[in-house]
Amino acid sequence: MSQDTQQQAATQRLTLVQAVRDGLYGELDRDDDVLVMGEDVGENGGVFRATQGLFEEFGEDRVIDTPLAESGIVGTAVGMAAYGLKPVAEIQFMGFIYPAFDQIVSHAARLRTRSRGRFSCPLVVRAPYGGGIRAPEHHSESTEAFFVHQPGLKVVVPSTPADAKGLLASAIRDPDPVVFLEPKLIYRAFREAVPEETYTRPIGEAAVRREGSDVSVFTWGAMTRPSIEAAEDLAEEGIDAEVIDLRTLSPLDEEALTESFRKTGRAVVVHEAPKTGGLAGEIIATLQEDVLVYQEAPIGRVTGFDVPFPLYALEDYYLPEAERIADGIRETVEF
């Protein structure tokens, strides 16, 4: 369904987590090979209620409660995917994904290559990620760069309910593994109109959230809203910032990056992951390789800090918020 058609279709106002649930429901209903599995996803409906009601609708063979063993969840899902099913494996928090790292990187990402195309791995690994909800240790990581670095994986991060539903459907239908990261800070932060019927949004395409001419702001996930807020505040000072929501981190939409940078000549990358080794560095390198001649100022980075994610008292200080993003944009524009 095209986006023009979506605008004419019946809609419902959903939060992001409700849109995830709606997307799962639509794909389970559409395709009998789709199943959902993870800790407490069944009768309990998931720790964030992203799977609420699916167990009652589709039964225990398709909405499967698993033991508390992330490597077992993803390893089992890889086997299911290799033999034609389309499992959606939930990891309760991104901070719990590391026991399954070997299964994702060594097996899911390499299955097509290892089997010389005999097998594909239509697997989705869903995980709430990022900080801002006052969670305890191991619950607030933003380590998407680990997975972007691995060939054979797609990495998707929605920032709106409508994108969450459409991108999740695309991820489930994709013949290769997708790591689908859901920014839990904005799970219930706002609602928007989401088409009631199933639809897809293309993996690998960024979205222009605000057009501008002075500086390009590249971001994703929960950092999209404070980036837009910073841009709107700076407009009152005469700074016209363009905000690009990448939506997909692998494959990266290099065309959207370079097209915006050609227009503005300046850029700031915003992410909540630590600065060192974060995706801002890769984005900056891409811009300098492809469109260096358009560059008017050093490219800025507004990120988390190179420390373990802090507990409650310092959480707001750690996360980039609109004021710190605005300062970074201002510094780049005034260079």
CA–CA separation, 38 vs 88, rounded Å?
Answer: 8
> CA-CA distances (angstroms) from residue 323 to 107, 227, 264, 290, 319?
42, 9, 21, 30, 11
CA–CA separation, 68 vs 51, rounded Å?
Answer: 17
**CB burial class (10 A; 0-12, 13-18, 19+) of residue 118?**
exposed
Spacing of C-alpha 195 from chain mean position: 20
- Residue ranges of E strands in 22-160: 34-38, 63-65, 86-90, 124-129, 154-156
Tell me which amino acid residue 87 is.
P
Catalytic residue among 107, 138, 139, 271: 139
Q: Which residues pair with 87 in a beta bridge?
A: 35
Active site residue 139: yes
Which of 283, 147, 304 is closest to 217 using CA atoms?
Answer: 283
**Residue 256 and residue 306 in contact, taking contact as beta carbons nearer than 8 Å:** no
**Residue 131 and residue 185 in contact, taking contact as beta carbons nearer than 8 Å:** yes
For residue 266 the two structure tokens come to 């300046």
Q: Please count the other Cβ atoms lying within 10 Å of the Cβ belonging to residue 285.
A: 11
Helix (H) or strand (E) holding 166: helix 161-173
- Residue ranges of E strands in the chain: 11-14, 34-38, 63-65, 86-90, 124-129, 154-156, 178-183, 192-195, 207-210, 215-219, 241-245, 248-250, 267-274, 300-304
Catalytic residue IDs: 139
